[in-house]
Amino acid sequence: MAAKLSAIDTAKYVAAKRACDFVEDGMRVGLGTGSTAAWLVRCLGELVKDGLSITGVPTSTRTADLARQLGIPVTTLDEVKWLDLTIDGADEYDQNLNLIKGGGGALLQEKIVATASDRMIVIADRTKQVEALGAFPLPVEVIPFGWQTTKALLEETLAALDVMGDRVSLRMNGSAPYVTDEGNHILDLHLGRIGNPRQTALVLNQIPGVVENGLFIDICDMVVTGNGDGRVQVKDINVGTTQEDVIEFDDAENIFANLE
């Protein structure tokens, strides 16, 4: 018998389960990376087992491995060219559905896949909703060559932007720099608050050595937010609607309870 889900895991699960309602037979679906996106992949795996026919395009090797384990057919973006839908998590989102992503280190592939989709749906728990982006460190993917120079240029640039902090740190994996699937490093920008996300995103990408930043502006179409009591809020920014549902399930029989 599976253990009872924690409130945070319940929130992630019900958001993922509700988002599956937007996946239709025959779709090409971008599969996000991170703890919440992993719930989505597990839910889709159950639907595929029951007969749903989809093709998944993973945004990381971790997601690809999980999807294959669960029987979801996967391919590459180069193969399918364009996607019907991408479902992914977020580290933060604001009322305009601007996002910070990249806490899991896959921001580059995540942004490419999301941009190559007709729609992007973010699944999240309530803690990811913020008044202003920036409390979560903003990831910036940079090439390894000259990364310290890139870091200095970022620090200099931040002084002219509408942000609260300016500390930049190299993301580590133990005693070595973290390496992305594309062989790059990540610099985390500890900004506190980002007053103008659009301007910040544009300026950061002009710095030599920067590959991409974790600000997702005008990319997300819908956020599905889960709560620990099973309630789910669905906000669609394109039609200007917000609705609330309740996802009911038996914790004791839930096969996802051991998902980390």
DSSP state of 253: G
- Is 223 strand, coil or helix? strand
Q: Both tokens of residue 239?
A: 């039609």
Least Cα distance to 47 among 8, 87, 93, 101 occurs for: 87
Burial of residue 243, with CB atoms counted within 10 A of its CB: 0-12 exposed, 13-18 middle, 19 or more buried: exposed
Element spanning 172, H or E: strand 172-173
Side chain identity at residue 259, one-letter code: L
Q: Are 54 and 72 in contact (CB under 8 A)?
A: yes
Residue with tokens 């956020």: 223
Q: Are 135 and 92 in contact (CB under 8 A)?
A: yes
Q: Are 234 and 18 in contact (CB under 8 A)?
A: yes
Which residues are catalytically annotated?
Answer: 110
Residue with tokens 């996946």: 23
